[in-house]
Amino acid sequence: MENDFTSWLAENFSPANDKTILGIGDDAALLASPSEPNPPTTSSLLPREQQLTVVSTDLLSDKVDFLVKDISPVAIGYKAASVSLSDIAAMGALPLSMTVAIALEKKNSSPPFNSNRKTDQGSNGTPIQDLNFAKEIYTGIKESLRPFGVDLVGGDTNYHYGPLTICTTAIGTVSSKNVWRRSGAQKGDLLVVTGRLGGSLLGHHLNFRPRVAEATRIAQTTNIHAAIDISDGLAIDTSRLATASHLGAVLDLSKIPVSDSAVLLSRQISTMSVVDPQKGKGAIEHALYDGEDFELLLALSPDSAEDLFTKLANEIPLTTIGYFTDRPGLWEGRLDEQNCSKKELAPLPIDGFLHSL
């Protein structure tokens, strides 16, 4: 669904000015520096190295991305900021700045408008969430940004007649020579993932640490062909990486690093008596489809992968979980049969936690 709507957007908003290096369709946009005297073309082949500006926007709402009734405003702010930092990391970029817009919830206590006011006066309604609540959200945002030296540079705090809504825009920088896009994976490239996957709803989706430091280390160490962060789930995000690169992808389910939470969740649910669509889901399904892992998924050559593991396996949790193929689609297969002429591939359903249209 995201792909259809995103395609419509990309078709209808082709770049009009020469500062737009990469517009709609990736984890973040890439903009040429305004001070560049000779802006590059919009082609993927940039004429020479320069620092690009990276921008990504996310919107999170109560009852969709978190539950105000169950978690603290500090945790909500932390998640909102971290989600956008993760998008910047997925470009191999360094985040520097963030703007935040928040709509706190109020309810109608008097008519919000009348025939003489087409819009609210901005002062009607009864706040459900007060200023201290807003300050706690910003405290959570600060906790997310501080370890990475990222500045909150703009904050727009409002009330509206609806659920708490937070929009974060992260801005960062990356060299044009090192930037990671979703496109760029090559046939035979390996799929490497950071961390462990699945079961994020048990807590990880709120308290994860975005892979900003890891992205920087990896970008400094080896050549990455393509990357994405796992927000909607390993299956769908692998599929996006493959599609953007005009390839297919094979996942070796036996290699996927499954989180303890995914295992716990699969046991909890299988002992429950209520009818539930997730009943009986195994740990591996949680790892494939839960989403909100916010781990990095990387495409790189086997040589680069060997280099990466040699240099960084001690400091960053890295696992090879699959490879790219010229057969379009998402497949289940074995890594050790990658180069066999008669490898067996089974289609893998593409599903996930769809955050966007």
Instruction: For the segment 232-261, give every residue that binds its own copies (CB under 8 A).
Output: 232
**Minimum gap (Å) between residue 343 Cβ and its own copies:** 33
Rounded-to-integer distance, Cα 336 and Cα 340, Å: 8
Site string for its own copies, 88-117 (x = CB under 8 A): --------xx-xxxxxx-------xxx-xx
Binders in 284-323 for its own copies, by CB under 8 A: 292
Nearer to its own copies, 206 or 247 (CB): 206
* CA Rg value for the chain: 22
Site string for its own copies, 266-285 (x = CB under 8 A): --xx--x-x-x-x-------
**Minimum gap (Å) between residue 328 Cβ and its own copies:** 25
Collapse the DSSP code of 267 into the 3-class scheme (helix H, G, I; strand E, B; otherwise coil) and give the result: helix
DSSP secondary structure string for all residues of 282-322: -HHHHHHH------EEEEE-HHHHHHHHHHHTTTS-EEEEE
Site string for its own copies, 49-88 (x = CB under 8 A): -xxxx-xxxxx-xxxxxxx--x------------------
Nearer to its own copies, 154 or 328 (CB): 154
- Residue appearing with tokens 């919107």: 59
**Minimum gap (Å) between residue 338 Cβ and its own copies:** 33
Collapse the DSSP code of 262 into the 3-class scheme (helix H, G, I; strand E, B; otherwise coil) and give the result: helix
Nearer to its own copies, 5 or 344 (CB): 5
Phi, psi of 348 (to 5 degrees): -110, 125
Collapse the DSSP code of 53 into the 3-class scheme (helix H, G, I; strand E, B; otherwise coil) and give the result: strand
216 membership: H or E segment, kind and range: helix 212-221
- Residue selected from 47, 109, 135, 270 as contacting its own copies according to rule CB under 8 A: 135
71 membership: H or E segment, kind and range: none
Rounded-to-integer distance, Cα 356 and Cα 6, Å: 9
Length of the chain: 357
Rounded-to-integer distance, Cα 239 and Cα 330, Å: 6
- Residue selected from 3, 6, 186, 301 as contacting its own copies according to rule CB under 8 A: 6
Nearer to its own copies, 10 or 313 (CB): 10
- Let me know: does 87 contact 80? Beta carbons within 8 Å: no
Rounded-to-integer distance, Cα 20 and Cα 31, Å: 5
**Minimum gap (Å) between residue 207 Cβ and its own copies:** 12
**Minimum gap (Å) between residue 341 Cβ and its own copies:** 40
Q: What is the largest CA-CA distance in the chain?
A: 75
Binders in 15-34 for its own copies, by CB under 8 A: 15-17, 19-20, 22-24, 28-29, 31, 33-34
Task: Decide if residue 178 touches its own copies (CB under 8 A).
Answer: no
Binders in 190-209 for its own copies, by CB under 8 A: 201-202, 205
- Residue selected from 38, 43, 122, 342 as contacting its own copies according to rule CB under 8 A: 122
For its own copies (CB under 8 A), the number of binding residues is 101
Site string for its own copies, 338-357 (x = CB under 8 A): ---------------xxxxx
- HEC assignment per residue over 48-59: CCCEEEEEEEEE
**Minimum gap (Å) between residue 111 Cβ and its own copies:** 10
- Residue selected from 7, 126, 149, 313 as contacting its own copies according to rule CB under 8 A: 149
197 DSSP 8-state letter: B
